[in-house]
Amino acid sequence: MRTVCSSIKGMRYYAIFRKHWRCSLRSSYYKARVSGEEFVVILPETSFTKAEELAERLRKHIADHIFPVEDDVNIKLTISVGISSFPEHGQSCQDLLEVADSAMYDTKKAGRNQVKMP
């Protein structure tokens, strides 16, 4: 099981982000909004390397895309992603979320719009 946490800036863009997120991820992945601007993706039977590649593809897709929000108004978004892996980074969901969350906050401290692993 792989866990990916990401955060976007601005709740009013949640619906736009969610549309692109769902289109970019397999239906076999579990996707959920955790709170506010934080999201979790669980990638069953996915290697740590593949999880990192997927996170980077999603990060780049979001960063490269221009999102229309209103007539004549377009925005750009970025995401910060933290990754954790079972069993390397924890034995419980709580452990995995804490490790991924910590890695995500490390991306924010390092300038955002990045993927980080523990």
For 68-78, write each residue's pLDDT tens digit.
Answer: 777 787 878 88
Average pLDDT over every residue of 94-107: 90
> Which residues share a beta bridge with 70?
73
Judge whether 37 counts as a catalytic residue: yes
Q: How confident is the model at residue 1 (pLDDT cuts 50, 70, 90)?
A: very low
Q: Is the separation of the CB atoms in 40 and 32 below 8 Å?
A: yes
Residue 50 burial (CB count, 10 A)? 12
Q: Could you tell me if 41 and 25 are in contact, meaning their C-beta atoms sit under 8 angstroms apart?
A: yes
Predicted confidence band at 26 (pLDDT cuts at 50, 70, 90)?
confident
The domain segmentation of the chain, as residue ranges, is: 2-114
Answer whether CATH 3.40.109.10 is correct for domain 2-114.
Answer: no
pTM over 0.85: no
User: Which is the catalytic residue, given 37, 45, 53, 70?
Assistant: 37
pLDDT computed for residue 102 by the predictor: 92
